[in-house]
Structure formats: structure tokens, C-alpha cells
């Protein structure tokens, strides 16, 4: 089985969509995530925000943000298909960020290690490595 | 932007030119070129979040273009991450692609 991947998904709805309508879209996404054994980690409604550029005729959009883990890459296809066919959705973006998070923690760990040995003189460090 | 001295390279690892404090100072034309430091390195940033539009906005012009790192002083690695983050933010309409209005 493929390793678990971490995704973030943002989609934008028409600003004049009634809230239950948006909840319905979210519910269908949640359902497909569950069906494919994904784990939803975060669900945030950012609400209506100004768009940086017009999408269609809209200057505003209702943002919804999801973060989830999954082993099935087909899940992304499924989610994006659902977003594409749902009426109020203007735009969506899925980003896989596990590798960036991995890199982040790696760098953080390295910095910590370096900080831990900082009290010593930076030079001549290799001589003490044998212990 | 012609300067009499070549601009110091923006590489983060070279610690800059040796201090020239004991040079005789001419009042005119003598200005200290303030060394630009990568803001992300200073803050020890390991991941530039594309959702943080306010931060990203400070690295694009009003027109929407990414500010080159020779201006901002960002190191190459962070500029690369920044570029990705801005691209993503643009895709989801958090940042503009170009001068819209």
C-alpha cells in the first residue's frame, strides 16, 4: 500500500450560496474521504473573502479549507471530480504537502541539534566526535 | 542605479566585505550600503505557507509581480519556496496574477 500522504484542499464557492448548500458540498467531500479510508484532519470555513482577481463575475468568494490524509491517490481524483460538478464551486486547489512538512521538520531538527552543541567552540568539533 | 562599488552578492553564507570603519571618511558620497539579509533566514522559516497571503503580499509588487531577490535580499532557497507559495496562492485567488483592477 502506498504511504500516507497529506493534502490540503481549498475550494471557493459563489458568495451568494446559502450556507446549507455549502455544507452539502462539504458533506459529499467528507463522505468520499471516508469511503477511501482517508482521515480528515481539519475543516475550516474561512467565509467570504475578497478574491484577488475576478472569477467569472465574482469579486468575492466563500472559502472552505480541508486538510486530510490519504493513501489513495484516486481520492483526489474523486474529490476534484465532485467539486467540478457541483454548481456553487468556482475554483478549487489541492496541494500535497507531506514532503514539504517532512523537509520542514528535518530542517527544524537539524537546527535544534546545531543549537544544542553551540556552547562549544565551533572549531575543533570533529575531534570530539569519537566519544 | 549606477553605483561606484559593485553590489555585494546576496549569498547568505559569505559574511560580507570586511569592515572598512577606519577608512578616512569623506562626508560626500560615502554611504554605508546596508547589507540585505534574507528575511526568512532571520526568522528561521522552514516552510512558507501559501495560505499566508499577507506575508506573501509583501513580496509582490502592487502589479502582482514577484519582487526579485536582488531587491528583497531573500536567499535563493527561500526565494524558491516563496515562488511556489505565491504560485499556489495565485491559483486560489489569494494573490493576483497581474495588475487587474
Which distant-in-sequence residues (6+ apart) come within 8 Å of B64 by Cβ?
B95, B96, B97, B98, B99, B100
B43 φ/ψ angles, rounded to the nearest 5 degrees: -85, 0
Enter the CATH code of domain B34-96.
4.10.640.10
pLDDT value at residue A10? 95
Contacts of A10 in chain B (CB under 8 A): 51, 92
What is the rounded CA–CA span in Å between residue A78 and residue A82? 6
Q: Which of B44, B92, B100 sits opposite A93 (nearest CB)?
A: B92
Q: What domain range includes position A82? A: 5-118
pLDDT in tens, A10-27: 999 999 989 999 999 999
CB contact under 8 A, B93 and A95: no
Asked if residue A33 belongs to a domain, the reply is yes
Provide the 10 A C-beta neighbour count for residue B86: 22
- Asked if B3 has any chain A CB less than 8 Å from its own CB, the reply is no
- CATH number reported for the structural domain that contains residue A88 in this entry: 3.30.70.60
User: What's the confidence (pLDDT) of residue A129?
Assistant: 45
- Is B44 in contact with A55 (Cβ distance < 8 A)? no
> Mean pLDDT per 10-residue run, chain B (101 residues)?
49 53 63 81 91 93 92 93 94 85 50
% of chain A at pLDDT higher than 90: 70
Q: Determine contact: B11 vs chain A, CB below 8 A.
A: no
Residue A23 in domain: yes
Say which of B46, B51, B91 has its CB closest to residue A108: B46
Average pLDDT across chain A, whole number:
87
Determine the pLDDT at residue A130.
43
Count interface pairs A-B at CB distance under 8 A.
39
Amino acid at each position: 500500500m502506498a504511504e500516507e500522504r497529506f493534502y490540503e484542499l481549498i475550494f471557493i464557492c459563489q458568495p451568494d450560496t446559502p450556507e446549507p448548500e455549502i455544507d452539502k458540498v462539504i458533506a459529499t467531500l467528507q463522505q468520499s474521504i471516508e469511503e477511501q479510508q482517508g482521515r480528515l484532519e481539519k475543516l475550516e470555513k474561512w467565509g467570504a473573502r475578497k478574491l484577488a482577481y475576478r472569477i467569472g463575475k465574482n469579486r468575492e468568494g466563500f472559502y472552505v479549507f480541508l486538510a486530510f490524509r490519504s493513501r489513495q491517490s484516486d481520492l483526489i481524483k474523486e474529490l476534484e471530480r465532485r467539486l467540478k460538478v457541483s454548481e456553487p464551486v468556482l475554483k478549487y486547489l489541492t496541494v500535497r504537502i507531506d514532503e514539504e512538512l517532512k523537509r520542514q521538520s528535518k530542517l527544524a531538527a537539524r537546527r535544534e541539534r546545531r543549537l544544542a552543541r553551540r556552547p562549544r567552540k565551533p572549531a575543533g568539533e570533529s575531534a570530539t566526535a569519537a566519544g | 542605479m549606477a553605483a561606484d562599488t559593485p553590489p555585494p552578492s546576496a549569498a547568505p553564507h559569505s559574511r560580507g566585505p570586511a569592515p572598512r570603519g577606519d577608512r578616512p571618511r569623506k562626508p560626500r558620497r560615502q554611504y554605508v550600503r546596508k547589507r540585505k539579509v534574507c528575511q526568512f533566514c532571520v526568522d528561521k522559516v522552514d516552510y512558507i505557507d501559501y495560505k499566508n497571503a499577507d506575508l506573501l503580499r509583501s513580496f509582490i509588487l502592487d502589479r502582482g509581480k514577484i519582487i526579485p531577490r536582488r531587491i528583497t535580499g531573500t536567499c535563493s532557497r527561500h526565494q524558491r519556496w516563496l515562488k511556489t507559495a505565491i504560485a499556489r496562492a495565485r491559483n486560489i485567488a489569494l494573490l493576483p496574477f497581474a495588475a487587474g483592477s
